[in-house]
Amino acid sequence: MIKLLRILCSSAVAIGAFAAAPASAQFFLVEKDMSGVAVRGHETGLGQELPGATEAEQRAALVWNMRAALNVAALQCQFEPTLMTQANYNVILMNHADELKKSYDVLTKYFTRTGKTVKAGQTALDQFGTRTYSSFTTVSAQYGFCQTAARIARDAIFAPRGSFYTIAEGRTRELRNSLIPTGEQRYPRGILFTRQAGTLPRFDEICWDKKGYWIAKKCGAFQLSAIN
């Protein structure tokens, strides 16, 4: 009986692990390596710059960028359910609610501090949010972005509470790299399809007999190419 219970518990744990983890090869046999070095927030190419931001404010911006990216993925990547972007994002919001709120509060204070008025600061904060979300919207790189975001979201739900910023610092460059369009890496050239305009035969009556057969003696060899 004890042995049976041990087997059942092990099976339940395994099933849970598989349920939380997205599949790994939805789009490519071999996908491009998107990995990048860890960042602190002041580096270029990470999103909107925050002039005069403190280290804490840079970290808050990184956290909010990562949250925005995973939110976009939750909406944009639902066409492939096995990525689980929406389900995992909802878990992230629950597990890391306190840290996400604190990051937003820090950003609010930054824009209030740097804005000429309270209203200007709020406007700048709203623009920051809109532009951040828009920066992760992609069409040509959607497969790579969705695959990468799903992988990051899966790791984020298992990150200890209060450490979501480590995901943001360690994986933001990877996420930005995924916005560059790529394709299959095992067969990078893909399958070549030639698109060549074909030719049609003559349709005048002199070239066809009464049964609909081509008269080669009058119009030469019959040639027909597909039209693309």
What local confidence, expressed as pLDDT, does residue 199 receive?
A: 60
The dihedral sign for the CA sequence 205, 206, 207, 211: positive
How far apart, in Å, do the first and last CA atoms of the chain sit? 68
Distance CA 7, CA 190 (A): 45
What local confidence, expressed as pLDDT, does residue 184 receive?
A: 67
Among 27, 130, 137, which Cα is nearest to 72's? 137
User: Domain residue spans in the chain?
Assistant: 2-177, 193-228
Predicted model pTM: 0.68
Residue-level pLDDT, tens digit, the chain, 228 residues: 444 444 444 444 444 444 444 445 666 666 777 778 888 888 888 888 899 999 999 999 999 999 999 999 999 999 999 999 999 999 999 999 999 999 999 999 999 999 888 899 999 999 999 999 999 988 888 888 999 999 999 999 999 999 999 999 999 999 999 898 876 666 666 544 455 555 667 777 888 887 778 788 778 777 654 444
Q: How many CB atoms lie within 10 A of CB 110?
A: 23
What local confidence, expressed as pLDDT, does residue 193 receive?
A: 47
What local confidence, expressed as pLDDT, does residue 123 receive?
A: 93
Yes or no: say if 61 and 50 are a contact pair by the CB < 8 Å rule.
Answer: yes
Q: How many CB atoms lie within 10 A of CB 32?
A: 18
What local confidence, expressed as pLDDT, does residue 39 receive?
A: 83
- Please report, for residues 79, 199, 201, 208, 221, the alpha-carbon distance to residue 213 in angstroms, rounded to integers and kept in the order given: 50, 18, 12, 5, 12
Residue with tokens 């960042």: 39
